[in-house]
Amino acid sequence: MNKANQKPRIDIYHDGDIELAEKVIALLDSYNRKPLPWQKAILRRWMARDDEDKWANQTAGLIVPRQNGKSWLAEARILGGMVFLGEHLIYTAHQVSTVDEIKRRILRFFYDAEPEIRDLLTNEFDKEPKSFDYIELRNGGRCVFRTRTRSSGLGFTSDTIINDECQEQNDAQEEALLPTISAGPLQNPQVIMMGTPPTAGSTGTVFLRARRNLMQGKADICWQEWSVENITDNYDVEAWYQTNPSLGTLITEKAIKAEAGAMSQDSFNKMRLGWIPGVDAQRVFSDDEWNELAVKEVKLPEDPELVYAVKFAPDRSAVTLAVGVPMLDKVHVEIIERKRMNEGMAWLVKWLLDRWKKCNQIIIDGAAGQGLLIEELLRSEPKLKKKILAPNVKEAGSAYASFYQAIQDKSLSHYNQPILNSAIRTAKRRDIGKDGMFGYASLNPAIQMDSVDAAAFAYYGAVRFKGSKKGPSKQAFLAF
């Protein structure tokens, strides 16, 4: 019979004295919270002490598929630090329900324990309060439980941070938390990251960056990971046992078989087999291919054929104005301006009215402001109608596809503008219409795609309307 693999595929750590870890394991074992072998091994790595009695592994990461028992490890690390060291900890997670469950488990441990342990709680916990976001012991041990936000660490000083569901943690959240351990009472900081591979909707950056830096030899991190290296068939039972150390105890074959039949191969590999394609696999454009197209200056033709593109962000937050111009062998695209919608659009109306006679076309897209902008332009200059394109779905699909192809073919240049770069680096595909058409969406909900879309329409227009004074270009586009 197959046995669940207790050893991670990736196992990097510094050795140290594990006496403290053994005390924690014995404590939990005495209260019938018995760990599996793999859980013991992880805790020994996390709580190993060096020759100076400091953490041998100050930064630690763990990736293991869902429902294998990461919660036991969070509970053990918190209890061990509070009970035996009087340590200050912060436990964070992405979901409120996860935070509440860990806090409940820690409290129940104390409330259900013998008086020797129960009496460690300070007086304010005598009546089992449920509203506190912390637990405090008489020896000074303390743990604060928080969901992650941009300000989740403000006002706290801690020795250790445990970041659960770390695949969702972003840079702003990390910046709020890390300073809390710089002046911890024990002067022995530790950061622990736990999570699963990111899904298509995950927006975290911290976890995968730490893993990437480790794998490239740029970081000294304790890292344990149960995963397949390459995408694997859903029904490979051996792979189930290799990547799920609690299979047969906390998880059943029957449950995994049901998941294998219900989930796509991509999703099953991430959620059940620990496969990590990384955020880069979801991105439409890589840094290398985009950076290669950057230029420091552009020598425009004597009589440039300019196309202006306006894109309103779907959430009505901003509007971007871009320009595209055909060169000898490329089309140059550039963001002219991006402003918040609360600044109005009078500036945009004036800008376009001052320049429309010298451009080939003006493309305006985005339900958030398209109709109003066109109305304002035509009210001031009815002749503008012949130069305005409000793209339909087919034309939008062609614009996005041609922009993508131009980057692959290196037939585009740009000015390396940060406002466009940041959006390009979070761009993923989204389906639009039917018949294979696609557009762009962001991997980070804080970043909108209006600058990318505006650049795409500027490129599309520069090629489609090249020589428009003599008639439309005959160049074929990807029309779906």
Domain positions in the chain: 10-282, 287-470
Average pLDDT rounded to a whole number, residues 449-454: 96
Kindly indicate the confidence band of residue 346, based on its pLDDT and cuts at 50, 70 and 90.
very high
Give the separation between CA 360 and CA 462, rounded to whole angstroms: 8
CATH code that applies to domain 287-470:
3.30.420.240
The two three-digit tokens of residue 458, written as one number: 């500027």
Q: What is the pLDDT of residue 203?
A: 65
pLDDT in tens, 203-215: 678 898 899 888 8
Average pLDDT rounded to a whole number, residues 333-339: 96
Average pLDDT rounded to a whole number, residues 111-133: 90
Closest to 212 in 3D by CA, of 271, 164, 273, 279: 279
Q: What is the pLDDT of residue 151?
A: 58
Kindly indicate the confidence band of residue 1, based on its pLDDT and cuts at 50, 70 and 90.
very low
Contact 135, 106 (CB under 8 A): yes
Give the separation between CA 202 and CA 172, rounded to whole angstroms: 15
Give the separation between CA 301 and CA 328, rounded to whole angstroms: 9
In degrees and rounded to multiples of 5, residue 179 shows phi and psi of -60, -15
Kindly indicate the confidence band of residue 280, based on its pLDDT and cuts at 50, 70 and 90.
low
Question: Coil, strand or helix: which one is 389?
Answer: strand
Give the separation between CA 123 and CA 14, rounded to whole angstroms: 39
Contact 369, 343 (CB under 8 A): no
pLDDT in tens, 50-72: 999 999 999 999 999 999 999 99
Closest to 448 in 3D by CA, of 427, 429, 469: 427
In degrees and rounded to multiples of 5, residue 60 shows phi and psi of -135, 145
pLDDT cut 90: percent of the chain above it:
71
CATH code that applies to domain 10-282:
3.40.50.300
Q: Which residue has the tokens 């100076």?
A: 52
Question: Coil, strand or helix: which one is 262?
Answer: helix
Q: What is the DSSP string of 120-136?
A: TB-GGGTT--SS-SEEE
Q: Which residue has the tokens 């630690």?
A: 60
358 bridge partner residues? none
Q: What is the pLDDT of residue 479?
A: 27
Q: What is the pLDDT of residue 17?
A: 97
pLDDT in tens, 230-252: 889 999 999 999 999 999 999 99
The two three-digit tokens of residue 406, written as one number: 């131009």
H/E segment holding residue 442 = strand 438-442
Contact 235, 18 (CB under 8 A): no
Between helix 70-85 and helix 37-46 the angle, nearest 10°, is 40
Q: What is the pLDDT of residue 432?
A: 84
Contact 243, 313 (CB under 8 A): no
pLDDT in tens, 14-43: 999 999 999 999 999 999 989 999 999 999
Give the separation between CA 160 and CA 190, rounded to whole angstroms: 5
Question: Is the pLDDT assigned to residue 471 strictly greater than 50?
Answer: no
Question: Is the pLDDT assigned to residue 395 strictly greater than 60?
Answer: yes
Sign of torsion, CA 56 62 64 67?
A: positive
Q: What is the pLDDT of residue 434?
A: 64
Question: Coil, strand or helix: which one is 263?
Answer: coil
Q: What is the pLDDT of residue 202?
A: 65
In degrees and rounded to multiples of 5, residue 54 shows phi and psi of -105, 170
Q: What is the pLDDT of residue 472?
A: 40
pLDDT in tens, 151-199: 555 556 889 999 999 998 888 788 888 887 877 889 999 999 999 988 7
Average pLDDT rounded to a whole number, residues 340-345: 93
Kindly indicate the confidence band of residue 357, based on its pLDDT and cuts at 50, 70 and 90.
very high
The two three-digit tokens of residue 352, written as one number: 């376009």
Kindly indicate the confidence band of residue 429, based on its pLDDT and cuts at 50, 70 and 90.
confident
Q: What is the pLDDT of residue 256?
A: 96
Q: How far is CA 116 from CA 110, 112, 120, 123, in A?
A: 10, 11, 7, 15
Question: Is the pLDDT assigned to residue 292 strictly greater than 90?
Answer: yes
pLDDT cut 70: percent of the chain above it:
93
The two three-digit tokens of residue 136, written as one number: 């405090």
Question: Is the pLDDT assigned to residue 286 strictly greater than 60?
Answer: yes
| pLDDT-wise least confident of 10-14, 221-225, 276-280, 367-371 | 276-280
Give the separation between CA 437 and CA 480, rounded to whole angstroms: 6
